[in-house]
Chain A
């Protein structure tokens, strides 16, 4: 198995406050990698560095390298826009475009990137909605507003929207924390299936979720990577005492 993403000495700041310290890790292809840690440890900042969204905040700074298939996405001539087409993101609070229909939401990435052929759009929309396990529920109401769905459905719609532009990596920032347990479970199922075709990186504050869903886990604390390994190892045989304390719920 190859490494899809290699993070090398990644550090990040908000103004003068450093939030990530020298993170180095290699993320395998076609697996689910979870990033866990107490609030404020930098896990959201970390994944936002992976699709170059951290730098959009005013006074944000990033140093280090992130290699996608061997190429540094922070390289000299790289346009962040193209990075984001290969690395997609799903957010904590589902954010479908409220003024668009379900169909248009799923097709949004395509349309905005210039695909206009109706036939092609129809096919990709259907495939994405199927891949997000949403097709059967909405196929007869594609014209309804994206905001008219339930929370869990909205999140799956956002996943479909991300899938439609055929990314290689999917970043998920606490994708189920705003959802009820049933909806969350559906999404967890979906994540395991998605890993067959994509490299999935998920941030979660829910350790049980990490244990259920991921193949590899990284534990972050105060901006440092404390431990990183297979999920089984991390949860059953943590090497660092800090990790063990977090896993057993002593803090965070």
Chain B
């Protein structure tokens, strides 16, 4: 029988270790945020947003095309991915018992876990081989990354709609499909929007799928079938530069903008959904 004193001591130690673990995990987070914010802020300037990207090592210029590129590619990916994701989610929620739905749900999970570089390869194989390094290729790769996320969150949101809301509409003589598209969707719209926003935040930060599809560029957008710049890619390129004094501040600046976009979306979404339980 272990003595009570020993157990108390063990208890103290273990709990302290658990809290230590917590601190250890939060240190990198704090460091990343602090470094990005402080280094990024010092790189902030008007020209950062609006000038073209200079070659490595050359001072001046900005990362305007990267911001523009990210916005365009993400928007295009969303236009492709969101409708497919939402309607797939509707199918999985409304026809849950069907065998096709079970297999589709499983495959969706599989797709969520495909390494992002493989999605880049797929984008290359599918689009770049046909039309070259292009915005469309990047958007396709990102859309494929987005679809399973949106599908899953849409399905969950619809499952949460209480049965009595459906029954109320059905009892009014509304056919099932109309009930789903009007009353049910409308009731689930907050959850669906949340899922979409989180998916957008996720793909905005992805580099690997874009690395093999849009290739990157220093110039402003010049067409959907042309390569273009994007924030994550630009950060990567600058990070590899031998001319650190010139290029690293730009990398931090771009990082600040990117992290701002991604974290802002995440924080807003989490705040908005927490209100419900508050």
> B-contacting residues of A (Cβ < 8 Å)?
51, 53, 56, 58, 81-86, 88-89, 91, 93, 95-99, 108-109, 112-113, 158, 161-162, 165
Contact = CB atoms under 8 A, between A and B. Distances in A.
Given A58-B97, A97-B187, A98-B187, A84 B182 contact: no
Given A58-B97, A112-B178, A112-B182, A97 B168 contact: yes
A134 B173 CA distance: 23
B171 interface: yes
Contacts of B162: 95
B173 A158 contact: no
B168 A91 contact: yes
List 5 A-B pairs, minimum CB-CB distance, nearest first: A85-B173, A84-B173, A109-B172, A89-B171, A95-B164
A112 B169 CA distance: 9
B207 to A, nearest CB: 39
B97, B165, B172, B178 interface centre (most CB from chain A within 10 Å): B172
B175 A81 contact: yes
Contact of A162 (B97, B165, B172, B186): B172
6 contacts: A84-B171, A88-B171, A97-B168, A112-B169, A112-B172, A113-B172
Contacts, number: 65
Contact of A56 (B170, B173, B189): B170
B97 A51 contact: no
Contacts of B186: 97, 99
Contacts of A109: 172-174
B121 interface: no
A97 B165 contact: yes
Nearest to B182: A112
A82 B170 CA distance: 11
Contacts of B183: 97, 108, 112
A121 to B, nearest CB: 15
Interface string B145-178: 0000000000000000010110111111111001
B25 to A, nearest CB: 39
A89 B166 CA distance: 13
Nearest to B190: A99
A165 B172 contact: yes
Nearest to B187: A99
Given A91-B164, A95-B164, A82 B171 contact: no
Nearest to A167: B173
A53 B167 contact: yes
Contacts of B170: 53, 56, 84
A53 B172 CA distance: 11
A158 B168 contact: yes
Contacts of A84: 170-173
Given A95-B164, A97-B183, A112-B169, 14 more contacts: A81-B175, A82-B173, A85-B172, A91-B167, A95-B162, A95-B167, A95-B168, A97-B168, A97-B186, A98-B187, A108-B183, A112-B172, A113-B174, A165-B173
Contacts of A96: 168
Given A58-B97, A112-B178, A112-B182, A95 B165 contact: yes
Contact of B172 (A93, A98, A99, A108): A108
A210 to B, nearest CB: 22
Given A97-B183, A97-B187, A88 B172 contact: yes
A84 B186 CA distance: 22
A251 to B, nearest CB: 30
Nearest to B168: A95
Contacts of B174: 81, 109, 112-113
A32 B133 CA distance: 73
B14 to A, nearest CB: 46
Contacts of A95: 162, 164-165, 167-168
B276 to A, nearest CB: 12
B150 to A, nearest CB: 21
A158 B175 CA distance: 19
A51 B169 contact: no
A162 B171 contact: yes
Contacts of B165: 95, 97-98
A113 B170 CA distance: 11
B75 to A, nearest CB: 28
A81 B172 CA distance: 8
A162 B182 CA distance: 18
B184 to A, nearest CB: 10
Given A98-B187, A99-B186, A108 B169 contact: yes
A206 to B, nearest CB: 21
